[in-house]
Structure 1
Amino acid sequence: MCNCGNKRNQFSSQQTFKTNDTVRTELLQKKMWPDVSFAYMGKTALTTKGNITGKNYRFNYPGDVQSIDYRDATSMMTIPVLKRVYK
């Protein structure tokens, strides 16, 4: 008698497949470029959300400098009270 059924079941139970969430997380974690620094020039505090990563960035006081993911940098440049800091 052939015992192919058990081998097939054993093989399929060993297979692991990545879900879309896992693949998306891995892609978001890979960075091609370094982060970009921005300084807050407003008067109080500011919380903003990156358009690409969805990460929240918090500037606690005037002059506060935060490291922004390079993928979110373009959208941060549209905020008038944020200025890019060149090192």
Structure 2
Amino acid sequence: RIEARLDGRDWLMGTFGIADLESYAWLAGMVRLLPAAFAGKPRTAAWLERVRARPAVAQALALSRSADPAASWSVGPEINRWG
């Protein structure tokens, strides 16, 4: 759906906003968990890069306690806690 939504536009709702931030927060880490779901989606990949390049997003990511915030979505030993 995002790939289609980005056809002819840079941002999900036409201008950068909360829809982009909220969607980015979910999707940035999912690329590692489900890479096949993102294959062949050049508009989505470009959009992820545009969001990441926003000064406020880059600043927020730099404040992360993790050197690689997207890796927080990666499955690790703690996954067993959630069943």
Structure whose residues are more often strand by fraction: 1
TM range (shorter): under 0.3
Structure whose residues are more often helix by fraction: 2
Larger radius of gyration: 1
TM-score (norm 1): 0.22
